[in-house]
Amino acid sequence: MNNFEAIDILEILPQRLPFVMVDKLLHFDFEATRTSYAVKADNIFCNDERFTESGLIENIAQTCAARIGYINKYIMKNTIKLGYIGAIRNLEIVRLPKIGELLVTQITTIEEVFKMTLINATIKVGEEVIVACEMKISSTDIEQ
């Protein structure tokens, strides 16, 4: 499938509302994945008109989940599996985004070994990088 934005994000994510921090899959290849998320006022990670640190980390993790979900559903023709954050390194949060801002999150795969994936991540608002980190994600065989 090449029209990534036409994909219902809930088809490739194990998370369910109100715990969904990604709106659309913008790009996928085995090296890089990009998602978008418009920060909503009713998001459980919004506080004082801002999307919190926990929400930003979860947004990155869910971008990883979208990548794995896309691979499982559209390439492997398999079910969606659960995953977990294994580690976060070099986390830099420049600022917390405001309600209504559009986040574009990109993950770049550094290494995949067995069921562990190491990625670099950035979150941008427009051209401004507001978050950067390295994250390790552990995949499981547990179905959604």
Tell me the per-residue pLDDT of 29-78, one tens digit each, with 9 for 90 and over: 999 999 999 999 999 999 999 999 999 999 999 999 999 999 999 999 99
Nearest-CA neighbor of 120 among 136, 97, 104, 103?
Answer: 136
Cα separation, 134 vs 144, in Å, equals 25
Q: Residue 75: in which H helix or E strand, if any?
A: none
Q: Judge whether 127 and 94 are in contact, CB under 8 Å.
A: no
Task: For residues 93-119, give the mean pLDDT.
Answer: 97
Q: What are phi and psi of 58, to 5 degrees?
A: -65, -35
Phi, psi angle pair for 8, to nearest 5° = -70, 115
CA distance 39 to 110: 28
Residue with tokens 């917390």: 96
Residues above pLDDT 90, as percent of the chain = 88
